[in-house]
Structure 1
Amino acid sequence: MTEPWPDDDVILYDGVCIFCSRWIQFVAKRDTDHRFRFTPIQSDYGSRLARHFGIDPADPDTNAVIHGGVAYVRSDAALTVLSTLPGWQWVRVLFAMPKALRNPVYSLIATNRYRIFGKAEACIVPDAGMRARVIE
């Protein structure tokens, strides 16, 4: 069994993925309580977190969120994050859909994210307001 990660409400994401970076901006804008912190998988902290939970930092195929001491990946990660944001609690009903249906859709987007949305040369630098919430 994997030991729990010491930090909570941390979202791990691919920092060079344009789609992933927009996802983080979407969450940060709606997270009015500043509950979540963010770490790109390309950072030292993000790489350690990824390896701890069995995600290959060199070829990330998912984002992850540590919430309530539990690591959620793929569609569970996205739904967990969304369902905690003000006005987005309705997303919880999507947990009723089996993972066997949700995760293939997630994986299809994740596998093709660079081709569809693009890839930056380096991690996108957050604005000053969000900088304090990024763990590197």
Structure 2
Amino acid sequence: MTGLLFLSFFDIEKLWTPNKKVQSTIYTTDLIIEKNHKPIIFFDGICNLCNTWIQFILKKEKYPYFKFASLQSEMAKVILKDHKISKDITTIVLIKDEKIYHKSDAILHICKHLNYPWYLGKWFLIVPKSLRDFVYNIIAKNRYKWFGKQKQCALMTSDQKLRFLDL
């Protein structure tokens, strides 16, 4: 009698049902973004200016907030395609809370998460976007000429490497 009383605390079907095989999961960009729950910054991985900006973010963030992926990576190509962003894009892109920011908008929304005094850069959002992007486009057009191209990967700590989706 006590045995039946003991068994009443368990779901008998679970005890007697054989284990089912686990099916493999196909990782979609929704799953990647949902799993990370962090904004993702896409940047030109061969641009010295862009890589310096990413290193600056890593040093000046209030806390580890962003994930990163170079535009040249397969991961970036898949995620950007799913968000209907051209595969030929060469500007910085920020995907945050399912909103997509490009060019100066991306830069200034990133600034919101940096330490003082850098977070004050967010106030440049009051400057008309057309003017901000005009300046951004001049710099972007000349970035290789002015700053050069990356010849080797930047040295990063193991914690920093975990924040890059394509490493």
Please, what TM-score do these two structures have when normalized by structure 1? 0.84
Asked if the contact 1:61/1:111 (under 8 Å) is kept, the reply is no
Provide the residue aligned with 1:93 in structure 2. Answer: 123
Q: Give the fraction of aligned pairs with identical amino acids, expressed as a percent.
A: 31
Q: Secondary structure at 2:65's aligned position in 1? A: coil
Question: Which residue is equivalent to 1:47?
Answer: 77
User: In the alignment, what sits opposite 2:108?
Assistant: 79
Q: Secondary structure at the match of 2:112?
A: helix
Higher relative contact order (CA 8 A, sep 6+): 1
Helix, strand or coil at the partner of 1:15 = coil
- Report 1:1-136 matches (<5 A): 6=34, 8-57=38-87, 59-87=88-116, 88-121=118-151, 124-128=153-157, 129-136=159-166
Greater displacement, 86-95 / 96-105: 86-95
Give the SS at the match of 1:112: helix
| Residues in 1 aligned to 2:142 and 2:79: alpha-carbon distance in whole angstroms | 23
C-alpha distance in structure 1 between counterparts of 2:84 and 2:97, whole Å: 19
Shift of 1:30: 1.0
**Alignment partners' CA distance in 2, 1:99 and 1:19:** 21
Distance 1:25 1:135 in 2: 15
Q: Which runs of 5+ in 2 are unaligned?
A: 1-29
Separation in structure 1 between the aligned mates of residue 82 and residue 103 of structure 2, nearest angstrom = 16
Consecutive unaligned residues of structure 1, counting only runs of 5 or more, are none
Count, aligned residues: 132
Cα-to-partner distance string for 1:16-42 (whole Å, 9 max, x where unaligned): 111100000000111241101110111
Separation (CA, whole Å) in 1 of partners of 2:103 and 2:112: 14
CA gap of 1:47–1:126, structure 2 versus 1, over 3 A, is farther
Q: Secondary structure at the match of 1:42?
A: coil
Deviation at 1:44, TM superposition (A): 0.8
1:126 and 1:69 map into 2 onto residues whose CA distance is 30
Q: Over residues 54-97 of structure 1, what are the superposed CA-to-partner deviations in whole Å (9 max), with x where a residue is unaligned? A: 5444x433101112221100000000001221213322221110
- Structure whose alpha-carbon radius of gyration is higher: 2
Structure-2-length-normalised TM-score: 0.70
